């Protein structure tokens, strides 16, 4: 086990090289957290049930190279070992593996790690410097502490669905799994903070987060608006409630999001739309005026934007510095030259899969994908434990 991250040679962006991560994870949140750590250079050992592995392996169609596309997208740069924690011998192997880890990430069903003696307290007794990260559904305490949860349930429970979509329409979830992936990111933020603290103190740490807390974090602004206004924020479609105009408008061929977020930008937008008098209209003079009269303003803008194609408005608005963007499909995003320029899409080493890379660069270098998602149990647990056993014997 290493106590300090290292940098790989040649300027490669792998600042966590030398650290070992044990992932007791399934589905999205914990696997996403561990994948980020793996992308940053850590050795990630994913522990799976030998009978069926991570549930996400079967989340399809679509399937890609023998596994669900979802699983492939969340489990690159990892090793997979299979252990049945109900088996005494396998449980001892898992404890030995955890004894040599720098970081542990777990999102097992509430109470399981405690039942099998692999909770933070038990592991700190044999590995006092480990960073142990618990990722639950509703947190470690409170009336829902033992309740399981998934991304859409928490989007519903935390109010995200109450502000997503259009007024008068049924609830919808935000398309990407923002609660799951956001929770994974909070795990990483907490783990990296704990690693910095360990460097100063030599002490391990327990990091706790949950899907519920992440959902509440995403609701930071809507909650503040609700408390300040004394009423529910409600749904606003593509719009931002406290700015206008700031939404998707229909053009002749597709929607274009226009974000004229201050008075100066509104003046420029008005000129492009052929309405230079709008900023003097008392309904539209300030942002507060425009928010209060957003229905009339939005209708007036869309009556103009539908007369030209999206490309026309994007070019005209870009020219005067008004932020805007066409609503693109996934295939259009992938084909866009900006995507190519940033090299955010990366191939696995066997060049058979394209995956979204880590959205970070270090000194201009983006961490590369070292390996695709592992097949179930493709790494021999005994081979991983052998160096530690030999070191113990030598002592």
pLDDT at 10 over 50: no
> Is residue 232 assigned to a domain?
no
Structure tokens at 222: 């809507």
Domain of residue 292: give its range. 246-250+255-326
- Residue 395: its pLDDT value, please? 60
- Residue 202: its pLDDT value, please? 97
Segment 170-180 shows an average pLDDT of 96
Distance (Å, rounded) from C-alpha 165 to C-alpha 55? 29
Do 71 and 165 lie in one domain? The reply is yes
> Is residue 311 assigned to a domain?
yes
- Residue of 90, 119, 151, 180 with catalytic role: 180
**Residue 287 sits in a domain of what CATH number?**
3.30.1540.10
> Is residue 122 assigned to a domain?
yes
From 277, 296, 326, the end of a domain falls on: 326
Report whether 151 contacts 173 (CB < 8 A): yes
Segment 186-209 shows an average pLDDT of 98
Cα 123 to chain centroid distance, Å, stands at 27
Report whether 225 contacts 233 (CB < 8 A): yes
How many percent of the chain have pLDDT more than 70? 95
> Is residue 354 assigned to a domain?
yes
SS3 157: helix
Do 71 and 130 lie in one domain? The reply is yes
Q: How confident is the model at residue 1 (pLDDT cuts 50, 70, 90)?
A: low
Q: How many structural domains comprise the chain?
A: 2
Run of H or E including 392? helix 381-394
pLDDT at 224 over 70: yes
Segment 69-79 shows an average pLDDT of 97
pTM, entire model: 0.92
Peptide bond into 61 cis (omega under 30): yes
Q: How confident is the model at residue 187 (pLDDT cuts 50, 70, 90)?
A: very high
Do 34 and 163 lie in one domain? The reply is yes
- Contacts (Cβ under 8 Å, ≥6 apart) of 330: none
> Is residue 339 assigned to a domain?
no
- Contacts (Cβ under 8 Å, ≥6 apart) of 141: none
Structure tokens at 305: 């934007």
Q: How confident is the model at residue 66 (pLDDT cuts 50, 70, 90)?
A: confident
Do 276 and 360 lie in one domain? The reply is no
Partners of residue 105 on adjacent β-strands: 23, 133
Mean pLDDT of all residues belonging to the chain: 94
CA-wise closest residue to 349 among 365, 366, 369: 369
Q: Find where tokens 């066409």 sit.
A: 326
- Residue 40: its pLDDT value, please? 97
Distance (Å, rounded) from C-alpha 98 to C-alpha 92? 10
Do 321 and 355 lie in one domain? The reply is no
Segment 333-360 shows an average pLDDT of 94
Do 194 and 270 lie in one domain? The reply is no
Do 212 and 262 lie in one domain? The reply is no
39 catalytic? Reply is no
Do 314 and 368 lie in one domain? The reply is no
**pLDDT tens per residue across span 11-20:** 457 999 999 9
Say how many residues make up the chain.
395
**pLDDT tens per residue across span 352-392:** 889 999 999 999 999 999 999 999 999 999 999 987 766 66
pLDDT at 328 over 90: yes
> Is residue 17 assigned to a domain?
yes
**Residue 137 sits in a domain of what CATH number?**
3.40.50.10540
**pLDDT tens per residue across span 123-133:** 999 999 999 99
Q: How confident is the model at residue 208 (pLDDT cuts 50, 70, 90)?
A: very high
Residue 323: CB atoms within 10 Å:
14
Distance (Å, rounded) from C-alpha 54 to C-alpha 373? 12
Distance (Å, rounded) from C-alpha 249 to C-alpha 116? 55
Peptide bond into 29 cis (omega under 30): no
The 3-state secondary structure of 127-147 reads CCCCEEEEEECCCCCCCCCCC
> Is residue 333 assigned to a domain?
no
Segment 296-301 shows an average pLDDT of 98
For 298-330, the DSSP string reads: HHHHHHHHTTS-HHHHHHHHHHHT--EEE---H
Q: How confident is the model at residue 65 (pLDDT cuts 50, 70, 90)?
A: confident
Distance (Å, rounded) from C-alpha 197 to C-alpha 316? 51
Do 71 and 156 lie in one domain? The reply is yes
pLDDT at 309 over 50: yes
Q: How confident is the model at residue 8 (pLDDT cuts 50, 70, 90)?
A: very low
SS3 270: helix
Do 76 and 144 lie in one domain? The reply is yes
**pLDDT tens per residue across span 252-286:** 999 999 999 999 999 999 999 999 999 999 999 99
Report whether 299 contacts 353 (CB < 8 A): no
CA-wise closest residue to 27 among 58, 65, 61: 58
Do 202 and 262 lie in one domain? The reply is no
> Is residue 142 assigned to a domain?
yes
Do 158 and 76 lie in one domain? The reply is yes
């Amino acid at each position: 086990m290493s106590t300090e991250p290292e940098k790989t040679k040649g300027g490669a962006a792998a600042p966590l090289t030398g650290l070992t991560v044990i992932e007791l994870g399934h589905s999205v949140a914990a696997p996403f957290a561990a994948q980020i750590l793996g992308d940053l250079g850590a050795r990630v050992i994913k522990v799976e049930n030998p009978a069926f592995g991570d549930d996400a392996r079967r989340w399809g169609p679509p399937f890609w190279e023998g596994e669900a596309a979802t699983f492939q997208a969340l489990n690159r740069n990892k090793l997979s070992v299979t252990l049945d924690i109900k088996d005494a011998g396998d449980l001892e192997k898992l404890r030995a593996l955890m004894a040599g880890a720098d970081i542990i990430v777990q999102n097992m069903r509430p109470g399981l790690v405690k039942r099998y003696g692999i909770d933070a307290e038990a592991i700190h007794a044999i590995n006092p410097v480990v960073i142990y990260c618990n990722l639950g559904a509703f947190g470690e305490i409170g009336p829902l502490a033992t309740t399981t949860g998934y991304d859409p349930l928490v989007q519903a429970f935390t109010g995200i669905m109450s502000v997503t979509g259009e007024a008068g329409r049924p609830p919808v979830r935000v398309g990407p799994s923002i609660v799951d992936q956001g929770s994974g990111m909070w795990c990483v933020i907490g783990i990296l903070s704990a690693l910095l603290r360990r460097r100063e103190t030599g002490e391990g740490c327990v990091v706790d987060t949950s899907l519920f807390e992440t959902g509440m974090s995403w609701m930071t602004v809507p909650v503040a608006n609700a408390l300040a206004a004394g009423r529910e924020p409600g749904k606003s479609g593509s719009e931002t409630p406290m700015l206008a105009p700031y939404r998707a408008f229909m053009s002749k061929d597709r929607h274009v999001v226009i974000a004229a977020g201050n008075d100066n930008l509104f003046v420029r937008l008005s000129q492009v739309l052929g309405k230079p008098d709008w900023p003097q209209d008392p309904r539209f003079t300030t942002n507060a005026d425009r928010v209060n009269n957003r229905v009339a303003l939005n209708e007036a803008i869309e009556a103009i934007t539908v007369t030209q194609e999206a490309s026309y408005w994007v070019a005209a608005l870009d020219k005067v510095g008004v932020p805007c963007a066409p609503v693109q499909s996934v295939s259009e995003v992938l084909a866009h030259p900006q995507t190519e320029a940033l090299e955010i899409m990366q191939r696995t080493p066997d060049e058979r899969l394209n995956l979204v890379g880590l959205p970070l660069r270090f000194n201009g270098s983006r961490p590369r994908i070292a390996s695709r998602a592992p097949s179930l149990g493709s790494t021999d647990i005994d081979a991983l434990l052998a160096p530690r056993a030999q070191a113990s014997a030598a002592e």
